[in-house]
Structure 1
Amino acid sequence: MAELQMLLEEEIPGGRRALFDSYTNLERVADYCENNYIQISREP
């Protein structure tokens, strides 16, 4: 029972935060890559 409580109070919220942070970071990387690709493709 204590393990379930620890999961619900600590592990799951911590995992959700880590997933959200990873999602945000990947979105930034994708934007960076897309912007650089657009700049390179516009160069003569």
Structure 2
Amino acid sequence: MILRSQRPLKLKAAFICDISLETFVSIIKTAYSYFTLLLYIAN
């Protein structure tokens, strides 16, 4: 269990490539920023 927890977490992106958790979080933050900007502009 300890050996498994020392490996970095990798996520599959559309079964094409692996992305790290940091990259995934960055993508989610950017998408949320654009979403809130669009909501602000729409109002």
Give the TM-score of the pair, scaled to structure 1: 0.61
Shift of 1:25: 0.0
Between 1 and 2, higher relative CO (CA 8 Å, sep ≥ 6) is seen in: 2
* Greater C-alpha Rg: 1
* Partner of residue 30, structure 1: 36
Moved beyond 4 Å, runs of 4+:
none
Query: How many residues matched?
Result: 33
* Partner of residue 40, structure 1: none
Name the structure where helix makes up a greater proportion of residues.
1
Q: Output the aligned Cα RMSD.
A: 2.1
Distance of 1:2 and 1:17 partners within structure 2:
23
